[in-house]
Amino acid sequence: MVASWLLLAALSGPVSDLSTVPHAPVRTRQADEVLWIRGERLIVRPGVELENAAILVEDGVIVAVGPDVAKPEGAREIQGTVICAGFVDPWSTLGLGGRSATELGSNAATRTVDGVDPWRLPEQREEALRGGVTTARVQTGIFATVGGLGAVLRTEVGPEPRIVLEDACINATVGITRAGKQLDPFDRVNEVERLTTSLEKGRKYREDQVEYRHELEEWEKAIAEKRKELEDDFKKAKKKRDKELEEAQEEGKELKEKRYKEDKKPKKPRYDADDEAMARAAGGEVPLVVEAHRVAELRGLLAQTAAFDRLRLIVAGGTEATYVADALVERGVPVICWPTPMGAERRPEYEGHDLALAGELDRAGVEVLIGSGGGPEARDLRLLAALAVGHGLAPESALNAITLGPAKAFDVADRVGSLDRGKDADVLVFDGDPLDTTSQLRVVVSGGRVVIEQ
């Protein structure tokens, strides 16, 4: 990220290099404290700010927000210039162990939480916390055609991963370079088709399940009705049978009795974990994040998924997304941008990479999220947002792109992303504007615990 720092310096003046700030050690988890955090400027959420206001934190949750929030006796007091919610990285592999992050053999049912290693490179998570990232959407199989179920995790270091949401999305890629191998245009188009075929299989799988449950309900109802009928008519039927048996014996004939035959029970569809996972995406239960860059893949993806009216599509990367901005707005598809400087060694799909992408998409009406590009370097998230602002993204949109926007996209806005009452206390205390690269992040609170003081 050296180029990133240099360019930020050129744009914003002196850059406060966090690596030169004396670091206090990350605090170990202790009993929840009552915190009273007051700031000259309190950003409740992007676009909603209070002056000279405070928040009160009890049991890890924000219980009060406002200018008149009094400090309870015994509460720990924290003062700052600007206070905002902890940052949320929507595109990360932070904390994944071994080959989980880059595994190409992942499938739709692969669970990211199974690959999280709390003991792997804890310094990366500590640096992310020092950068203000308290939560991240972490994804296994980041380069796989289908990478499986992503999770939203807390960045905080501990003996166990702190899970906010286990099943936050299904991840997929189309047309990207894998293991140094580039795909030709036909292969890239075929990947879009294979992805939509998997979605269709998932939808058909879910339809079969619904049909089975309906048929089973009807069968159970019919059986219950028939059994009740037999019980009600038992005595009458017994007398009739005895009479028929007597007549048959008198005539020297054999009585041929009618046997009751139940309707065949419906057959349960065969369980398939991958189809089950894709069914959840097709039905809108979880979003589908697809890394796609070139305009051909983006147009194909939007066209071929149009029939899935419940699909919650999110594009990651979107290097040439401005060409399909109108379609993205119409479908309500957010784009996760990675506004980082790239040199000559960039992957082929990033050939058209432009630091102005986030700003151009935002002005076109596309919801923009900002992520750290699918790697473990979440610590740079604030700097990436600042860089996007330097290239035309509105500051309010940039702050939304790393707080409430990702939280909403991945269904955790009821817990993180803003400083509203009732949410988890993920709080950042700055001595200046959060997106001013000369501002220092002084205190980080994660889930109600002070984890960074610097």
Quick: pLDDT tens for 315-326: 999 999 999 999
Q: Is residue 236 scored above 80 in pLDDT? A: no
Please state, as a whole number, how many other Cβ atoms lie within 10 Å of the Cβ of residue 259.
Answer: 5
Q: Output the pLDDT for position 12.
A: 39
Q: Is residue 262 scored above 70 in pLDDT? A: no
Most confident by average pLDDT, 229-238, 250-259, 353-362: 353-362
User: Which residues are CB-contacts of 49 (< 8 A; sequence separation ≥ 6)?
Assistant: 41, 42, 43
Residue among 215, 228, 207 nearest 264 (CA): 215
CATH 3.40.50.1240 for domain 1-86+417-454, yes or no, is no
Q: Output the pLDDT for position 122.
A: 85
Amino acid in the structure at residue 315: V
Mean pLDDT, to the nearest integer, of 389-399?
97
Q: Is residue 286 scored above 90 in pLDDT? A: yes
What does the angle CA 369 – CA 373 – CA 379 come to, to the nearest 5 degrees? 90
Q: Output the pLDDT for position 445.
A: 96
Q: What is the C-alpha separation between 71 and 68, in angstroms, rounded?
A: 9
**Segment (H or E) for 87:** strand 87-92
Q: Output the pLDDT for position 14.
A: 33
Query: What would the pLDDT profile of 23-34 be if each residue is shown by its tens digit?
Result: 444 444 444 789
Q: Output the pLDDT for position 454.
A: 84
Q: Output the pLDDT for position 252.
A: 61
Could you tell me the pTM of the whole model? Answer: 0.85
Mean pLDDT, to the nearest integer, of 110-115?
91
Q: CA of 268: how far to CAs of 64, 112, 159, 203, 261, in Å? A: 51, 29, 41, 16, 21
244 or 21, which is more confident?
244
Q: Is residue 235 scored above 60 in pLDDT? A: no
246 or 402, which is more confident?
402
DSSP string, 94-120: TTB-TTTTT-TT--TT-BGGGGB-TTS
Read off the pLDDT band of 159 (50, 70, 90). confident
Annotated domain spans of the chain: 1-86+417-454, 87-185+283-412
Q: Is residue 99 scored above 50 in pLDDT? A: yes
Residue pair 438/382 in contact by the 8 Å Cβ criterion: no
Q: Is residue 452 scored above 60 in pLDDT? A: yes
Mean pLDDT, to the nearest integer, of 436-441?
95
Task: Give domain 87-185+283-412's CATH superfamily.
Answer: Metal-dependent hydrolases (3.20.20.140)
Q: Is residue 350 scored above 60 in pLDDT? A: yes
Residue among 44, 293, 42, 295 nearest 173 (CA): 293
Q: Is residue 169 scored above 50 in pLDDT? A: yes
Most confident by average pLDDT, 11-15, 188-192, 362-366: 362-366
List the alpha helices (DSSP H) in 287-439. 295-304, 325-331, 357-364, 381-390, 395-401, 404-409
Q: Is residue 160 scored above 80 in pLDDT? A: no
Q: What is the C-alpha separation between 334 and 389, in angstroms, rounded?
A: 18
